[in-house]
A and B are shown apart, each in its own frame.
Chain A
Amino acid sequence: TQLLEQSPQFLSIQEGENLTVYCNSSSVFSSLQWYRQEPGEGPVLLVTVVTGGEVKKLKRLTFQFGDARKDSSLHITAAQPGDTGLYLCAGATGNQFYFGTGTSLTVIP
């Protein structure tokens, strides 16, 4: 079983602050995804990174894939209450996707 550790597990910040979530593994993945999940719903795909060292930006969100394709980070600039949710990373290898332990983010207005 591939293990992806996310940190921090819980994060509560004020609106307007910046934050970074980390996703680390000892395994190499062919690609890595970040998802956001609302309570009672399925995860929604935010981004997929494929190339080591790749950086992708989605409005206020910046995603980076580690050079060795074992880790990734998600940086949110000027967080808003609408960013509140559970953030999950997932690594793809073969036909399987292995999910991280999750980061629960709360942005306080």
Chain B
Amino acid sequence: SQTIHQWPATLVQPVGSPLSLECTVEGTSNPNLYWYRQAAGRGLQLLFYSVGIGQISSEVPQNLSASRPQDRQFILSSKKLLLSDSGFYLCAWDPLGTEAFFGQGTRLTVV
């Protein structure tokens, strides 16, 4: 069966520090992968999506970047975090092109 793993679950980082969030998918090959950010109790903002290794599309210019070094691995990074980067980050994958399945999310607090 296919599963998606995202870690860490929570993270507290100082302003100006780097960030690396990792997402991996098991049980499938060449999935479409996504990073979203969610403000408290609100909808999801699409940050990045990838249709294959090394292929990254950015939806919103920001302080973040994404990479896909392996087929089933998607990484969200920042060189220097800002207070405004705080939020709930979600990784998702799409097996059929019609629906997305999500990881458990990472609560990032920048202090």
Mark A residues whose CB is within 8 Å of B.
1, 4, 6, 30-31, 33, 40-45, 48, 50, 86, 88, 90, 92, 95-102, 104
Contact = CB atoms under 8 A, between A and B. Distances in A.
Nearest to A29: B98
Nearest to B51: A95
A36 to B, nearest CB: 11
A45 B101 contact: yes
Interface residues of B, number: 28
Q: Which of B32, B44, B104 has the most chain A CB atoms closer than 10 A to its own CB?
A: B44
B43 interface: yes
Report, nearest first, the 3 A-B pairs whose CB atoms are least far apart. A42-B102, A99-B44, A31-B98
Nearest to B4: A42
Given A88-B43, A102-B41, A102-B43, A40 B100 contact: no
Given A30-B98, A31-B98, A90-B100, A96 B46 contact: yes
A95 B98 CA distance: 9
B76 interface: no
A76 B34 CA distance: 30
B21 interface: no
Interface in B69-111: 88, 90, 92, 94, 97-105, 107
